Amino acid sequence: PIEPDCYETIVQPAALIRVKAPRQMGKSSLMSRILHQATQSGYQMAALNFQSADAEFLTNLDLFLQWFCASIAEELDLEDQLEKYWKGPLGSKNKCTKYFQRYLFSEIPTPIALGLDEVDQIFQHPAIATDFFGLLRAWHERGKNEAVWQKLRLVIVHSKEVYIPLNINQSPFNVGLPIELPELTQSQVQELIKRHQLNWTNSQVRQLMVMLGGHPYLVRVALYQIARGRITLEQLLAIAPTEEGPYSDHLRRHLLNLEEDANLMTSVKEVVAADKPVEIKPAEAFKLRSMGLVKFQGNAVMPLCDLYREYFRDRL
């Protein structure tokens, strides 16, 4: 019941929902549905993807918060008023807070649902991250007592573990409603198969799930290609872990990311070579999980599916 929980939470004063899952597991889609639900309640919504921030904004807190405020104002169809509110000797966080409180909240009479996607981008910049995430937490805390800050409803989306050092009282990642998106279940995959007007046996469903697990992106690509008549299930199973298959770009991107980290490469080789779950260093295990390549069995990990096992076993 993930969606009902989110829909129920977003209409609460000073709501904060944090969605964590590996890449391409449906986080952004869920965020969009939550924000849409908020608009159905009469709220204004703004969505911001941090991948759209230019590199220059990620090295300076003042520039970053100006970009943040201007982007939110644009999303809300409001004029940029930075010149008016970004004056005086007050610090950047104070100016950002005033911009929201005195400008955005005064212009928008309804609650504002704010979706922050790919906040992982900020983890790579500790100088900005500590202050920015501390600011979000401070706004959330103010919402417990101040009516004006109860208007702000936050949805924070990320895929990686929060490995930056944040004071427990200054982190938005230990408050609010935590959501972790699981893999699709067999019944959910069967429902998707029906929607694609495919009539499969239980054996065929199991074959697909052994190869792809319950990874939403991988499953949807397969069903789309098969439903369009571009490939049969048997052909897909044969070529999926190869460069000829429909996942070649997806797999190469993962390979390039692994090649940048010698420790991850070593760990992946160990995981895909084993016929049972293996224990590796926790840091590597969580990184591989955030990439969506492995799943936990207790403290041990194993490949998420045969697609990754076969592809990386051949190439590493």
> pLDDT tens digits for 105-119?
999 999 999 999 999
In sequence order, which residues have a C-beta less than 8 Å from that of residue 92 and are 6 or more positions away?
Answer: 61, 62, 65, 131
- Domain range enclosing 222: 186-239
Looking at the domain assignment, is residue 244 inside a domain?
no
pLDDT value of residue 290 = 86
Whether residues 121 and 104 fall in one domain? yes
Whether residues 172 and 198 fall in one domain? no
Model confidence at 316, pLDDT cuts 50, 70, 90, reads confident
Structural domains in the chain (count): 3
The CA–CA distances, whole Å, from 93 to 104, 121, 181, 292 equal 15, 19, 32, 34
**Which residue is it, tokens 């990642």?**
173
Whether residues 145 and 89 fall in one domain? yes
Whether residues 9 and 113 fall in one domain? yes
Whether residues 42 and 120 fall in one domain? yes
143-151: long-range contacts (C-beta < 8 A, 24 or more apart)? 143/13, 143/14, 144/14, 148/101, 148/105, 149/14, 149/101, 150/13, 150/14, 150/111, 151/13, 151/105, 151/108, 151/110, 151/111, 151/112
Instruction: Indicate if the pLDDT at residue 8 is higher than 80.
Output: yes
Looking at the domain assignment, is residue 249 inside a domain?
no
Average pLDDT, the chain: 95
Question: Buried b / exposed e across 72-95, counting CB within 10 Å, b at 16+?
Answer: bbebeebeebbeebbeeeeebbeb
Whether residues 219 and 267 fall in one domain? no
Looking at the domain assignment, is residue 127 inside a domain?
yes
Q: Are 271 and 264 in contact (CB under 8 A)?
A: no
pLDDT value of residue 166 = 82
Whether residues 40 and 88 fall in one domain? yes
Mean pLDDT of 50-68: 95
Looking at the domain assignment, is residue 16 inside a domain?
yes
Mean pLDDT of 284-310: 94
pLDDT value of residue 163 = 66
Two tokens, residue 241: 């872990």
Whether residues 173 and 55 fall in one domain? yes
Whether residues 274 and 205 fall in one domain? no
Q: What is the pTM of this model?
A: 0.87
Whether residues 33 and 172 fall in one domain? yes
Whether residues 9 and 70 fall in one domain? yes
Whether residues 224 and 264 fall in one domain? no
Instruction: Indicate if the pLDDT at residue 124 is higher than 90.
Output: no
Query: Tens digit of pLDDT for each residue in 134-157?
Result: 999 999 999 999 999 999 999 999
